[in-house]
Amino acid sequence: MTAHNFTLKRLDLPEMAQASRIHRASFDDRLPWLKGLHTPQEDQWFYENCIFPQCEVWTAFAPEMAGIIAFKTGWIEQLYILPEFQGRGIGSTLLKQAQQTLSHLQLWTFQRNIQAQKFYGKHGFTAIDQTDGHDNEEKEPDILFEWRKSGSEYTI
């Protein structure tokens, strides 16, 4: 799939190292107060052993790997775009990949990440809950967002 001068591709296990580097670069850029939470080796282990076995992981090449999304039934686990590629439609296109695949999605984002909140709101997500961060590793207050495809029903 090609759009906006970049190509989408589903990633395989050997590409999780690069996916974890994109995660860390974007995370540290947007959330500098949490920088250094994990080592690069810990990030790679997490992607190879937790994210990859449970999720579809996609990237956008522009022409190098510029962003990633990891999603599974009902959840977006990760969505990160390298800082130098943000604002070019890559995040929107990766998010649409998940929205075309699934009819219902939820995700958490930090309350201090205003840019992410605006991004998800623009793509039809609604805030449905928030916490003081006591349950997340970072102890950072967060917000639960939800999206439903028009006409879809979801019951718990």
| Tokens 């967002």 found at | 145
Residues 6+ apart with CB under 8 A from 47: 16, 17, 19, 20, 23, 57
Mean pLDDT of the residues in the chain: 94
Predicted confidence band of residue 116 (pLDDT cuts 50, 70, 90): very high
| 3-state SS assignment for residue 146 | strand
Q: Which two tokens stand for residue 66?
A: 């510029």
- Structure confidence by residue, pLDDT tens digits, 49-90: 999 999 999 999 998 999 999 999 999 999 999 999 999 999
Structural domains of the chain, ranges and CATH numbers in brackets: 2-148 (3.40.630.30)
Number of H helices, E strands in the chain: 5, 8
Q: CA 113 to CA 6: how far, in whole Å?
A: 26
Mean pLDDT of 136-151: 94
Mean pLDDT of 119-133: 98
CB–CB of 55/81 below 8 Å?
Answer: no
Mean pLDDT of 106-130: 97
